[in-house]
A and B are shown apart, each in its own frame.
Chain A
Amino acid sequence: MPDVEDLFVEFETAAATTFRPPGVADAQRRIRDRRRRRGLLAGLLAVALAGPASALAVAHRADRPEPRPTPSVSPSPTGRLTVRAVTLPGVSGELADLRFVSARAGWALFDTCVDAGESWSGCRRTVARTVDGGVTWQRAGLPAVPDGGVQLLPVDTDTLVVMTRAGYLVTADGGNSFTSHPYKAPPVAVRRVFATPSGLYLGCPPNGGLATCDRQRVLRVGSGLHFHQPPVTLRSDTENVLVEGADGQLWLTVLDGDRLTVVTSTDQGTTWRELPSVAGARQLLLAPDGRDVWLVRTTQPSGVWRLAGTRWQPAPALPDDTDGIAAPGAGLLVVTSAYGGLGFVTGGGYVEVPELRGPLRTSEPRASVSVLPDGTVVAQHGRTWFLGVGRGVDRSWLQLS
């Protein structure tokens, strides 16, 4: 068999010479053309809405050299950011990962080999837990971890799975003690990491593996195959996601190519109902309380649809620079910007969180955002984490690093 590494080197050398970069002038031309088109479209829209005077004003904006990345920015009503350092006295290593399960409870991983990947040896790993929102941290009794990658997979305040090169280390008592499990015999806690609150997950019968089969099924933690399977095929080459809100309603999406299928169940999977499809939708977002259900597409042109009864209603578009997105409830979407910053998309505008503008606008290329089951917003930017505690746009913010 040929050496794969050599093949890639040869491939890169040979293929690179076949490209003819169109050049910077072509890039400038593309940008000019795009701005002209945007201006024209905006002008036509303004004619329809408010007459020719505003059309001229809007179209003129196409000539601006640097378009503002986010529309209608207004400041958050409460500007509070508390900065905390996550440290553990006597423990060496950097903060490598931080996983909260609620506004108060979370797990931290300290590692003396941050960024070393699998190549370093003798790394020391320490896990700590907080139950007071990151004010204090207690060291967990993690046994020695073999060299190689380590990943935290939290289940709840007391239960954590630490995935290592050798298998799983699991605590169910808040970190006081850990049990060791090989990959071939994962404990129930590993299934619970990926399961909905009522214990359903997508896996592979008969052993319940997570992604080792051509066709997944809806399974229940601890009891195998869930009796009523949804009326969709869960292939390994489609993106299949199962989520559940606090109201117990299940939502299953299958993204096959450019088609997103959505089925839902209000009786824990006894019966399933397929919702109308929406062309262009890529992802379903569910607020923790289960009340807000959205379909979104974050690539340009972006799209947002909100579920109203049994129909998807188009909603105002996302800011052009949307990167990460999640649904915190209260009719909002929370988004991170590709250029730094975080804010909330409301009915027709964008409410930026000004206290995060600076901390998120650093050289790290990406900020992700998610929402915890209690509605807390979590943003990660490199090895700095932000928690937004509260409801709607009215939140106090905590920076942890």
Chain B
Amino acid sequence: MTPRQQARPARDGTAPVDFTEFYRAHFHRIAVQLYAYLGDHGEAQDLTQEAFCRALERWPRIAAYDDPSAFVRRVAWNLATSRLRRMRTALRHLARQREEHVPGPEPDRVALLAALATLPADQRRAIVLHHLAHLSVAEIAAQVGAPEGTVRSRLSRGRAALAGHLTETGSELRRA
């Protein structure tokens, strides 16, 4: 199968999805989410590409889903979660950011990444899925396999910690 080939019609009668268009439409958004979660630009790009590879391998089936991007997002996040588990500490996580070979990030981006890096992985995942993937509590719960109450708690605690860290960082910057 070539990626330009059209998948079979979706069950609900909507137009079939072309893989190349699908790739263009969703790559950046998912990569940005993984970047916020992992704090590693290269890793985020690589894992996003890997997730799209897996979708391409099964495209005839996945194209028939109501929302094929949900499949890719889930695969990408599973890959990112597995990858993050290999990172031993938050220090190592921050150190990886300094190894990026991309244009230097803006100060706000650095502040947000640094603040996110201080959160436990579960809270960071919930925060990123909510604020960047724009998922509801129920959707996050379904994706991460946790009860909705747990997700709400992670969001609440994560937001509080994030706000505290950003306020602290802001004060330091102002003092400087």
Considering the complex, give the chain A residue whose CB is closest to the CB of B145.
Answer: A368
Q: Choose one: A8, A20, A21, A117; the contact of B131 (CB below 8 Å).
A: A8
Q: Choose one: B23, B85, B136, B147; the contact of A257 (CB below 8 Å).
A: B85
Q: Are B170 and A31 in contact (CB under 8 A)?
A: no
Considering the complex, give the chain B residue whose CB is closest to the CB of A18.
Answer: B102
Chain B residues with Cβ below 8 Å from A1 are 163, 166-167, 170
Q: Choose one: A20, A118, A363; the contact of B66 (CB below 8 Å).
A: A363
Take A21-B23, A368-B145 as given contacts and tell me if A363 and B32 are in contact as well, using a CB distance cutoff of 8 Å: no
Q: Are A19 and B85 in contact (CB under 8 A)?
A: no
* B106 beta carbon closer than 8 Å to chain A: yes
Q: Are B28 and A363 in contact (CB under 8 A)?
A: no
Take A19-B27, A21-B49, A27-B52 as given contacts and tell me if A11 and B3 are in contact as well, using a CB distance cutoff of 8 Å: no
Take A1-B166, A24-B23 as given contacts and tell me if A19 and B137 are in contact as well, using a CB distance cutoff of 8 Å: no
Distance A21 CA – B32 CA, assembled complex (angstroms): 12
Chain A residues with Cβ below 8 Å from B143 are 366
Distance A270 CA – B44 CA, assembled complex (angstroms): 46
Q: Are A24 and B3 in contact (CB under 8 A)?
A: yes
Q: Closest Cβ of chain B: how far from A311's Cβ, in Å?
A: 25
Distance A299 CA – B82 CA, assembled complex (angstroms): 8
Q: Are B41 and A18 in contact (CB under 8 A)?
A: yes
Q: How many residues does chain A have at the interface if contact means C-beta atoms less than 8 Å apart?
A: 49
Q: Are B27 and A21 in contact (CB under 8 A)?
A: yes
Q: Are A16 and B1 in contact (CB under 8 A)?
A: no
Take A257-B86, A366-B142 as given contacts and tell me if A11 and B1 are in contact as well, using a CB distance cutoff of 8 Å: no
Q: How many residues does chain B have at the interface if contact means C-beta atoms less than 8 Å apart?
A: 72
Take A2-B170, A368-B145 as given contacts and tell me if A339 and B28 are in contact as well, using a CB distance cutoff of 8 Å: no
Q: Are A4 and B162 in contact (CB under 8 A)?
A: yes
* B9 beta carbon closer than 8 Å to chain A: no
Chain B residues with Cβ below 8 Å from A365 are 65, 67, 70-71, 74
Q: Are A257 and B88 in contact (CB under 8 A)?
A: yes
Q: Are B149 and A149 in contact (CB under 8 A)?
A: yes
* B13 beta carbon closer than 8 Å to chain A: no
Chain B residues with Cβ below 8 Å from A21 are 23-24, 27-28, 31, 45, 48-49
The 7 listed contacts between A and B (C-beta, < 8 Å) are: A1-B166, A18-B103, A24-B20, A30-B53, A211-B153, A257-B87, A362-B11
List the 4 shortest-distance A-B pairs measured between CB atoms, nearest first.
A363-B66, A8-B131, A1-B167, A16-B28
Task: State the A residues within 8 Å of B (CB).
Answer: 1-2, 4-5, 7-8, 10-12, 14-16, 18-24, 26-28, 30-31, 34, 65-67, 69, 115, 117-118, 149, 151, 153, 163, 211, 236-237, 255, 257-258, 299, 339, 362-363, 365-366, 368
Task: State the B residues within 8 Å of A (CB).
Answer: 1, 3, 10-12, 19-20, 23-24, 27-29, 31-32, 35-36, 41, 44-45, 48-50, 52-53, 56-58, 60-61, 64-67, 70-71, 74, 78-79, 82, 85-88, 102-103, 105-106, 108-109, 111-112, 120-121, 131-132, 136-138, 142-143, 145, 147-149, 152-153, 159, 162-163, 166-167, 170
